[in-house]
Structures are given as C-alpha cells and as structure tokens.
Chains A and B, each alone.
Chain A
Amino acid sequence: MYAVRKWSVTHARGLNRFYTLFEKAVVGFAPLFRAIGYDRLERPVAAVEHGEKSLLIDCQMCGQCALSSTGMSCPMNCPKSIRNGPCGGVRPNGMCEVKPEMRCVWVEAWRGAGTMGEAPIMEVQPAIDQSLKGRSSWLKVAREKSAAGEAE
C-alpha cells in the first residue's frame, strides 16, 4: 500500500531501530531454527515475512533485504529495480520517470536515510543474487550472522 509505504520511509529511523532489535532476536533464535531445519522453515517464514513486509514496504521478496541501507524504501519497487539510485531519469519534482504518479523510490530512500543518522545508503549495493528471489531474508540473516558469530 502506497500510503503505508510512505509512512515507513517517514518513520525510517524508528522502523530501522525496530528491525535492528528484531534482527538480534532472529539471530538469537538461530540454534532453534537450525534444530527445526532451515529448509522446513523456509516456506512458512517466507510467507509471514512477505505478509508483514508487503504491508509496510510493498516487499517484492528479493530475498536479500537492503531496507536498512535504503532508508526503508524498498529498491525493488523501482521500475528498473536498481539497487543504487536514483537513475538519471528522475523528474525534477522527485517523481518517477517510468511511473510519473509515483515518487521515485530512490528519492524516498535518501529522504528516509536522512532521518537515520548514519548513512549506510552511501555503501554501494552489490548486484542482486537472482537465485534468492522468493526466499526469506530473515532466515538468511539468521543463518549467516549466527555462522559469522561462531566463526569469531
């Protein structure tokens, strides 16, 4: 929903704080996830994740969430799905080149990032891994961060 999506960007800072805590909790659950089996969890968790993120940010389930680096504006809603933006086509009034009725996702991203203090939006995002599409980014974070934690 477009209005909610805009609200999310306006409240990027708070939302990001919430997600940071949420991520810690998710990583904390990693041993439990492992016990149940990530493969078995994939579908139900992805479904819940999709429901929640669809409401807040019109999530497209790219499987590699970049929200905390993009001011809570989902780059996958960009018609060109660019992961580093905006592109050269953004209109002077901040509207999208392809969909003139929509605010540029990346203009929004910079707005949201501006409220977040630090600026992870300055980091260049890598090309998307297409094989992760439709999978849960939460489980990916749990799996990777818990593995990294053990390796330290």
Chain B
Amino acid sequence: MAEGAARRENSLRTAFAAGHFVLTSETTPPASADPAHVIEKVSPLRGLADAVNVTDGAGARVRASVLAVSAVLAQQGIPPILQLTVRDRNRLALQGKVLGGAMVGAVGMLCLTGDAVDQGDEPEAKAVFDTDSAALMRMARTMRDECKLPSGRDLKAAPDLMIGAADLPREPSPDFKPDALRAKIGSGADFVQTQYAFDLDLLRRYMAFLMDEGLAQQTKFLIGIGPIASARSARWMNENLYGVHIPDPMIARLEGASDQRAEGKKICVELLHELRDIPGVAGAHLMAPNQEAACAEVIAESGLLDTRV
C-alpha cells in the first residue's frame, strides 16, 4: 500500500486474507431522507455479513445517495461496499466519490455501468457515461496504489478500497471468450460479484473454465445467490432478470413446500455449503430485494461463521 494510505484496517481485505469464505450482502437505499429507514433494513446484517453493498440508483430510480447510506452503514458497524455507476457522473465526480467513500468507511467499491435512464424515474435525463466501469477501476487503483489522482496530483491520503467488478456466470461454450472479465481483472478487480447463480451445475462448469484460463486465481469470486421468496418469484426472476436461471427442480421444491419462504432460505443455506466446495469460489454475495433480514438469517443458519477461527 502506498505511503499516506489511511491506516484504518480494511476488514474485507482481512477476511479474504484470512482465507475465510467471505459473505457479502446488499441493500438498496430507500426513497427517504430518514436514516432510520436504512438502519431498520440493514441492522440484521450486523456481525453476519463481511460487507454490504449499497446500490447506486438501481433501475435508474432515485434513492438516497450511495455515499450517505454507506456512511450510515459504517456508523452502524456494517462495512459498506460502495456501488458506483458511470451513468450519473463524470470522472471528476467519480474520483471525488472514491475518496468520499473511503472517508466514510467503505471497504470496497463495485464498479458498474448502470442501468439505462429510459426505464427509470427520469427518462429525459442525460446519461453521462463520461467513462466506463473498467476506466473507473483503473482510476481507483491509481488513487489507492500510487496515492495520486489520475491527473498526477498527489493525494494526502489514499483511498483504501478493494476494487470490485460484476460478472455473469455463463455456459463456457467453445466460442465463449472471457475477454470482458480478463479486462476487468487487468483493470484491477480485487473481487468479482456475480449475478444470481442458482444453477450450480452451470456454475461449476463456468468456474472450472475460469480456473483453466487462470482467471479465477487472479481475483476473489463472490457468487450471487439469495433466499427465493416463492416459486412465483423464482419464475418472475427467470423471465425478467437477465442471465438468471433457476432450475425447474428448485422451483418445484419451493412450490411443494408448506412454507415457501422458509424453504427458500433452506435452499439458500444448502447452496452456500455447496459453493464452498467449488474451486475458484471465494465466497458468496447474498441478494434479496428488501429482504436483508432473510439474508442475515441464511448466514446465521448456515453456521459458516462458526467454523471461522
């Protein structure tokens, strides 16, 4: 780490370095100005998730700012991972957010393109796209590792953030080339959080492929999963979320359960245990819109934290 870096220990980096099966989760800020609305959602995750992503204007909908909500999480003792899209800000604003994020206690940042504005609250808005997510990662890496701005100007203290990228597990067909992922790793991705991967057979093939390519070894893969609320919600996800495939037997199992919500959590716990044995997988990223408490319960019930030394 560069001289002048903030001296506070980065708990996410420590968890990876200790070889733990890292568990992150996610919260979407409320359309509210009251921090109580953040606290009531995220507090179940305290002491359970290693870090919690704060989404950034997901779906191009207006919500409380990612920096402010990250500050609230940090105050609550929950290490935040700042999600940053290049949709809403030019590089000046992004670099400021990288510094501000580290200042309020974020342990990581997930660099994203951002959903298109035409489906959101303000379809007439200007989509900025001054830069792209790989360039954002490079900017953050320069700031952290060289303690200076991309312009060359020195920083008084470097932002100690782990840099993250998003990925989508897919069938490693013969014509598939993981160029985008390779570029992200080359741009400084310390960790990768994936879209939902409920189809573990596919995931095993994908990870084996990335191991063969030598890519999985160069970063930390956190696989996206979550407690599915019901068979209906599983079908909805299959139809509406890009790249998501929940296998039919899993949906049938949810449908046949007397308490679908509880079954969803049970499935998620089982998946966590299976993920731990897949080579190249460093942890899991638990997502469930507006169900932070359910994610917390899954982590607690999995017993994975008890095995840590």
Contacts and interface: CB of A to CB of B under 8 A. Distances in A.
A3 interface: no
Contacts of A129: 124
B118 interface: yes
B241 to A, nearest CB: 25
Chain B CB within 10 A, most for which of A127, A129, A130: A130
B123 interface: yes
A31 B127 CA distance: 35
B33 interface: no
Interface in A9-56: none
Interface string A122-135: 00000111110000
A127 B118 CA distance: 16
Contacts of B126: 128, 130
A114 to B, nearest CB: 31
B125 interface: yes
Interface string B113-134: 0000110000111110000000
Which bracket fits the contact residues of A? under 10
Contacts of A128: 124, 126
Contacts of A131: 118, 123-124
A129 B124 CA distance: 4
Say whether chain A's binding surface is mostly helix, strand, loop, or mixed.
Answer: loop
A96 to B, nearest CB: 21
Nearest to A132: B124
Contacts of B118: 131
A130 B118 CA distance: 10
Nearest to B124: A129
Interface in A123-152: 127-131
A127 B124 CA distance: 9
B114 to A, nearest CB: 15
Interface string B94-128: 00000000000000000000000110000111110
A127 B126 CA distance: 10
Chain A CB within 10 A, most for which of B117, B123, B124, B125: B124
Contacts of B125: 130
A140 to B, nearest CB: 14
Contacts of B124: 127-131
Contacts of A127: 124
A129 to B, nearest CB: 4
A6 B126 CA distance: 29
A128 B124 CA distance: 7
A130 B120 CA distance: 14
Nearest to A130: B126
A77 to B, nearest CB: 17
A105 B117 CA distance: 29
A42 B124 CA distance: 19
A127 B122 CA distance: 11
12 contacts: A127-B124, A128-B124, A128-B126, A129-B124, A130-B117, A130-B124, A130-B125, A130-B126, A130-B127, A131-B118, A131-B123, A131-B124
Interface of B: 117-118, 123-127
Interface of A: 127-131
- The 10 A-B residue pairs with the shortest CB-CB distance, nearest first, are A129-B124, A130-B126, A131-B124, A130-B124, A131-B123, A130-B125, A131-B118, A127-B124, A130-B127, A128-B124
Given A128-B126, A130-B127, 10 more contacts: A127-B124, A128-B124, A129-B124, A130-B117, A130-B124, A130-B125, A130-B126, A131-B118, A131-B123, A131-B124
